[in-house]
Amino acid sequence: MANETDVTDSGTATRTAGGKFAGLLRNPAALRLVGSLFVLEIGSAMTTVGLPLLVLQRYGLGLEVGFTLAARFLPNILLGALVGQIVDRYDPRRVAMLAALGSGLVVALFPLTTAMWQIQLLALAIGVGYMFSFPATMALRPQVIPEGSELEGNGLIVTAERIPKLIGPALAGPIAAGLGIGWLFCAEAATAVAAAALLLRLPVGERPAAGAPGGPGAAAPARPGPAGLRWLAAWARALAGGARELVHMVRDDGRLSSLTATAFTYMVALGLGRTFLAAYSLEEFEGVPAMLGYLLAAMGLGGACGALLAARLRGWNQGWVYILGNALEGVCWIALIWTGSWVVALALLFVAGVFESIASVVYFAEVQKRLPTQLTGKYYATLVPLSDVFLVGGTVAGGLIVDVAGVAWSAALVGLAMAVPVLLLVSRLVPEKRLPAAPATAPVSAGGVLS
């Protein structure tokens, strides 16, 4: 009987997931958000290919390449935590639209540059656009994904992020070869305009009016002193209050705090993995040209598949799904040590991509369910720059580790960095716990239906 019940529950969960996916595909708002993210990521992937090629073509190999690529991360690392105040204070749709259009304009200027400092300045400007666009996009999710469809909605969003990592580089090659590198930047400018246009008619949830009691735009009591200092003091108080509220929210929910902590440890593992894969492809598959590209493509394809499969695990405890996703991905990386076949290596990284994407969908869905809408922008604006710090740290450490410990030990460390943290936090990730009801002053989305 138990087996029959399990089969029935599994079938019910599958039909429920299928129905929710179908509902989302008929939801114009969700499709606009997913479509906007999709085309924006395709353009970004083209610039990821075009920017280093532009620098190498004009100025050759050297430290300038590293500095130029790192410049894209600096604004988010230094100022990302402040952006949440803007995203939550204003309409996140307009913030996302302006960020996309601004980035598109900046990218179109790359072919016109005549000096390295100009390229680096534009790279910094792109980083500023990303610093605003990501938390704004995250803040829009609760307004277009109905309550109860978090898993399916975030599965579509993660898929929209993963597939462009295959399509973008695939399109960049023929464009650069046939038309020139400059056209790659023009292509991203066009995708930025398209992404902004898709957001134009996106419905936006109701927010407390500017100046309303307790609202984001509530006027601070008048204080003596210059207006500039009063504004700065009000900004600092709002920032400190939002940070305290966010820390309190994360601290009081075991699963949310553990998801946040393991997001940072995963970024370290990802940084180690990027460096490892470069050395692994050259050392183990010297006779296979461009093996690194194939390995990354296999993982990207697995990621796209995993995002769509995540909803089929709706009936499982999502804490266990997150733990198994990270732990089994770590096993796949460790298993690379014992394979000398490029086919097996590609298969392992495809499976690793599936597990990574499933864990990512669960992460975003669980955060969305457990974090009040008014804190979403602050959360991601704080999380992303810190994640970039851990990613850069893992990448730098990876260079030393691969050089000193060798490829085999590096693979083991990547796998352990992914698996061990979630295994240590099983007791906090597995239990289900409801957050306290949101206060009555919390923003309500359009129609009171979406949250």
152-161: per-residue pLDDT in tens?
777 777 777 7
Beta strands in 19-133 (DSSP E): none
Question: Comparing 1 with 238, which gets the higher pLDDT?
Answer: 238
Task: Assign 7 a pLDDT band (cuts: 50, 70, 90).
Answer: very low
Kindly state the DSSP code that residue 413 receives in the 8-state scheme.
H
DSSP labels for 239-284? HHHHHHHHHHHHHH-HHHHHHHHHHHHHHHHHHHHHHHHHHHHHHH
Residue 87 has φ and ψ, to the nearest 5°, of -60, -45
Q: What is the CATH number of domain 1-203?
A: 1.20.1250.20
Instruction: State the Cα torsion 230-232-238-240 to the nearest 10°.
Output: -120
pLDDT at 324: 93
Check pLDDT > 90 for residue 352. yes
26-44 burial, b at 16+ Cβ within 10 Å, e below that, comes to ebebbebbbbbbbbbbbbb
Check pLDDT > 50 for residue 316. yes
- Residues 262, 360 contacting (CB under 8 angstroms): no
What number of other Cβ atoms are within 10 A of residue 214's Cβ?
10
Q: How far apart are CA 283 and CA 263, in angstroms?
A: 30
Tokens of 49: 């290919």
Check pLDDT > 60 for residue 110. yes
% of the chain residues with pLDDT over 70: 68
pLDDT averaged over every residue in the chain: 73
Question: Comparing 242 with 174, which gets the higher pLDDT?
Answer: 174
Question: Comparing 107 with 178, which gets the higher pLDDT?
Answer: 107
pLDDT at 348: 93
Residues 6+ apart with CB under 8 A from 209: 215, 217
Task: Assign 169 a pLDDT band (cuts: 50, 70, 90).
Answer: low
247-294: per-residue pLDDT in tens?
776 777 888 888 988 998 999 898 888 778 777 877 788 766 556 667
pLDDT at 38: 87
CATH 1.20.1250.20 intervals, the chain: 1-203, 239-433
Check pLDDT > 60 for residue 95. yes
Instruction: State the Cα torsion 117-119-120-122 to the nearest 10°.
Output: 120
Superfamily (CATH) of domain 239-433: MFS general substrate transporter like domains (1.20.1250.20)
Check pLDDT > 80 for residue 442. no
371-419: per-residue pLDDT in tens?
877 777 778 777 777 787 787 777 767 767 777 777 788 889 999 999 9
- pTM for this one? 0.60
